[in-house]
Amino acid sequence: MGAACRDVCPARPPDDEHVLAAAVVAGAGALVTSNVKDFPRDKLPAAVDVLRPAEFAANTVALSPAAADRAVGELAARSGRHGHSFTVAEVLDALVHRYGMNEAVGYLR
């Protein structure tokens, strides 16, 4: 993607250009990353938002809390196949404590 991408996707540092280029080529509306500092709003195409994982999770859960609740239930139900079995409450606790997804979990509790 190289030089051509720098004109369309001038993310800095240059080694992050491929990430933004992939989002643009795929027509993604958002790039989800904890590395938001390398994707400043004023350097991005208008069609691409940069969201932290916790923000993306909160937005997704807010759109369909019932689907998110089912997904968390599935995670809990599938746990234990290769290690510890988790309850729904333990999955939600992990989302808060490991990933800072307080807002998303708040919609589910």
Listed in sequence order, the residues at least 6 apart from 62 whose beta carbon sits closer than 8 Å to its beta carbon are 107
The 10s digit of each residue's pLDDT in 72-93 is 999 999 999 999 999 999 999 9
- The per-residue pLDDT for 6 is 54
Cβ–Cβ < 8 Å for 104, 54 = yes
In the chain, domain spans? 2-51, 55-108
Cβ–Cβ < 8 Å for 58, 103:
yes
Amino acid (1-letter code) at residue 69: D
pTM of the complete model = 0.79
Half-sphere CA count of 58, side-chain side, radius 13 A: 12
Give the confidence band of 15 by pLDDT, cuts at 50, 70, 90.
confident
